[in-house]
Amino acid sequence: MRTSYGTESPDIDIFMDSSSDGFELDFELEPENSFQFPSSNPVDVDLEVLNYPSDYVEELLVVDDDDDADYTELKIQGEEHEEDLSDDCSDIESSPVIARIEDMVLSFLNQLAFPGKRKDDDELSDRSDPTEKTLSRSDYKITIPLVDRTKSQVDGIPVMKRIQFPKRNKQGSSQALAQLFRVLDLAHEATLKGVPVTKRDIYYQDVSLFKKQKTVDTLVDDLAATFELARSDLNIRSSSKGLVCGSGLRITLITGEVIVCHDSEGSLIPHGEDIETFGLDEDVTWILVVEKEAIFQTLCRLQLPSHESMPGKGIIITGKGYPDVATRHLVKSLADALSKRIPILALMDADPFGLDILSVYKFGSRTMQHENGKLAAKRTRWLGIWASELQSLNIDKEHLLPITRHDEKKGI
């Protein structure tokens, strides 16, 4: 089947059966995208026109010129609406996110339609006999490549991993593929509507499919790395958790709202894409990044950002342990915008996890290495606490926690 479109595309519903539960994905393809299915090799794909005026769909024809034809053509016509709809779709059609998502979906459909072959657009125009050779079981495998973020690039080229179907798996052969396409579906919808969603929202959209929040977290970051985009470009965010205090900082959002920070309490750090400008008092002389929220709250209660014992006004930030993207983005933005004479200091534990958190702020994380250029604040300096300082602080060794095997593994 060859599908051609008018100015606005129909939805394509892909139905997948994972165990006993039906699974549906909706993708609206751009007009320039098309694909073919050999009529002798049917695929369960339901083409459905949704939310169109009744007079828009003039004709829905299945054209089969002769009984021996290898392909069937489906046409959806409605030229009189072209002028009215083209302006509304222009921004969406130019979105790199929409294009990359639809390319991945089309790759899946091509593999489904042409087992044993990897057809590009030129080959799709050649109506060769798809049954010209005997296919083996391996020819029916569908492969979706994703960037492996756990491995370093080789000569600037990312290492790839693959989601394959069918595949022997205790959880079911189609589960990984269904999870991937569900995330693609929701990212596609969020981009079309211009309404961001959080990773937590995605998880609760289909808890029975994803099983764990980590599944969504991994897939979202894998897709961002594969598409060579920031996670925010997918219109998917993490729930904010970082805090900032210090009356020397004001944050203006693109909505016009102004967040005025205080010296005695923390304010939730907004997402970077929601921030329009930062306002910083001229007498701010230091920035302190704190690992633990308990320490952060203590320093806020002492009003350390404006305390008379300090050399000047300051800003205190915490990511409550490992920082989220919004917290890292704030630290990076301040490090780039402020004069080099204003230090960015980090108060972290002198243990493997404290040093690892410090390295995330300073050098970036391994799992998000594709965004480290935007998030790593390299001039961050470790203020302490140092192991060599324990004696001068009158901290006895018996008050220290022993290093566990997990700590050793993290340190190595």
Q: Look at the block and give the residue holding tokens 């915490």.
A: 318
Neighbours of 32 (CB within 10 A): 10
DSSP state of 162: E
Strand, helix or coil for residue 91? helix
Q: Which of 5, 52, 71, 204 is catalytic?
A: 204
- Catalytic residue check, 204: yes
Helix-then-strand count for the chain, H and E = 12, 19
Strand, helix or coil for residue 22? strand
- The radius of gyration computed from the CA coordinates of the chain, to the nearest angstrom, equals 27
Neighbours of 202 (CB within 10 A): 23
- Long-range (24+ apart) CB contacts under 8 A made by 185-189 are 185/25, 185/26, 185/27, 186/236, 187/97, 187/101, 187/220, 187/223, 187/234, 187/235, 187/236, 188/26, 188/27, 188/28, 188/97, 188/98, 188/101, 188/102, 189/26
- Long-range (24+ apart) CB contacts under 8 A made by 18-21 are 18/172, 18/174, 18/175, 18/178, 18/209, 19/172, 21/208, 21/209
Between CA 361 and CA 32 the distance in angstroms is 43
Report whether 281 contacts 248 (CB < 8 A).
yes
Residues in CB range of 87: below 8 A, 6 or more apart? none
The DSSP result for 338-358, as a single string, is S-TTS-EEEE--SSHHHHHHH
**Residue 106 to residues 139, 144, 176, 295, 366, Cα–Cα distance (Å):** 18, 11, 18, 51, 30
DSSP state of 2: E
Between CA 390 and CA 386 the distance in angstroms is 7
Catalytic site positions: 204
